[in-house]
Structure 1
Amino acid sequence: MLIDVAIEQVQGLITFFNGYRDTGFCNALETAKEIALEMEIDPTFRQKREIKRKKQFDENPDDVLVSSQPAHESFRRKYFIPVVDQAISSLTTRFEQYESFQKNFGFLFTSDALKSLDEKSLKYSCSVLEAALKSGGKSDINGSELYVELNLLKSFIPNDNMGPVDILKFLKRLDCFPNATIAYRILLTIPVTVASAEGSFSKLKLLKSYLRSTMTQERLSGLATIEIENDILEGVAYEDLIEDFVSRNAQRMARFG
């Protein structure tokens, strides 16, 4: 998934949850009741017993006692609203992170976005990107050279609206825009989520539990790399690797040959 697509989807989720916070409880309650009935569970909230408080001497005896809230309203206020608010807060934080990427890379998201910039705006965007990619006084790109390349690229690029993947392929075919190529490569390697990496390291934790006593650190690290880079591994010819491994040792040749 690309960052521009992720920004749009996260914004849509925030809008959905803002509406769901106000109007979604009734629908969620009806759905929960249906599930409870299917599981033969009584779909009613337990009413909390009202604790009577002793009246203080300085209280007005004419004060009207306020009745306690219905159980379902108490659940909505104490559980439903906080859970939805937490979801909105998490999505908003993620959206702010994506917005910072959009501020730096937004003009590279599509060819139409690139073409829409005038020379002054393009030059400013290139300088912002150079500053964002700078570390220790060095940057991965030269902003002035990137501006010249992109300004020239605008006249070469096809009229059809292209995404960053297609633009990078186009740049590789031309093979004369080094700074632009680096900028698009960096854009396309920014992870939208870390779910894949988290899943890989969860599996590594299981491996450590079962194999730690019989596997060295070097082999364990190699196994972790295999799991994380499994897409690349699928294209590896195992037979060729085995033959190469065997051919490097005469003893192996005698055993496996």
Structure 2
Amino acid sequence: MEKNMNGHAHKGNNDWNNISSILKRHEASNGHILNMRIIAIVKTLGKNNLAFRGTNEKIYEENNGNFLTIIEMIAEFDLHMQEHIRRINELINNTTGKGLYDAIVDEIKNTGLDINDVRGQAYDNGSNMKGKHQGVQKRLLDINPRAFYTPCGCHTLNLVICDMANSCDKASEFFRVIQRIYSIFASSTQRVESVKAIRFQAPQLRKALLQLSKNCGDPKIKSEAKCVATYELENYEFLLGMIIWYDALFAINTISKSLQSNDMCIDDAIDQLNGLLCFFEEYRENGFEKALDYAKELALEMNLFKTDYFLYVVDKAITSLKSRFEQFNDFKNIFGFLFSIEKLKSFDENTLKEHCLNLEKSLKHDDSLDIDGLDLFNELKLLRHIDYVNYSCNCCLYRKKFF
């Protein structure tokens, strides 16, 4: 976009005497016209309830969806759109692990910071960021092994849900039915909220679909509404799956919201994630029977499918949580003994000394040491016997230093 557009977007305008001419110039700018065309595409697709994305998200490739297809069509006649696509492609080509790593290193140098002073890095779960061989985190760890990596907790929980949804065909089919229901009512699917609406209003929803199948003037919608009401909402397997998915998504959504709170600390995050894992392990043993009881309230017929659906979904939740949050546990193994006064006081001297020496080793790179493990051990021996309030103040200083 043009410089004057960036100025308006980020700095605003205070030349009110000339605001009319400024806005006219802005509206005639290439960047503004380009953006309005893109917005027009969004409005058109939304108005006609058409999907934006395809199975491929790359421009000028097959099956890349309605949005990118229309962008390609406009670019055939519009030089500004062609330039826009060229710049986007340049940006995409620079988002490899190496490209992003070089950009981060350059920014660190430009701000006058020392990359060897970095003690933590956190990104989403894109392969260019978290990749164990070519990702940004690996490249940074290669030159500074003390820059401990942890993934974004909320994004990782979203991937856990994706793992669960793809764990078996019946799990995938459940969400296809959810999408069909929301498409009929021209609404969007928002995971736990969409399942919640159906979970607690299944009878009313079925009644509404049947009424729609009788009164709607669109033959396609009439047929789809009757099909969903008759063959899905009256299907005991679907109702049971709805109970199971709501329980699972509600638990994950609760933790996800908590992880986004402003005062969330790493020790609390680890405890909550471990609690979520315990929930699924317990749910695996007792959840199916409870789900059956709830499902019986919605239907009289029963068609158990525990072994080929329930266990697939819950087992995938357990294994995915363990593998995707492995870095959090590594972080806890290094710094966990400093998380609370209660934990610190629970260690005998040999265990405390072992933790301090392990922290020294973890924060050592070549001949550079962040701390002396024995010095820290002697200080902590003294601090844990001091009044709790005084200790808390000192412990905060330590945590600021290490985190």
For the criterion TM > 0.5, the same-fold answer is no
The TM-score normalised by the length of structure 2 is 0.29
Name the structure, 1 or 2, with higher relative contact order (CA <8 Å, separation 6+): 1
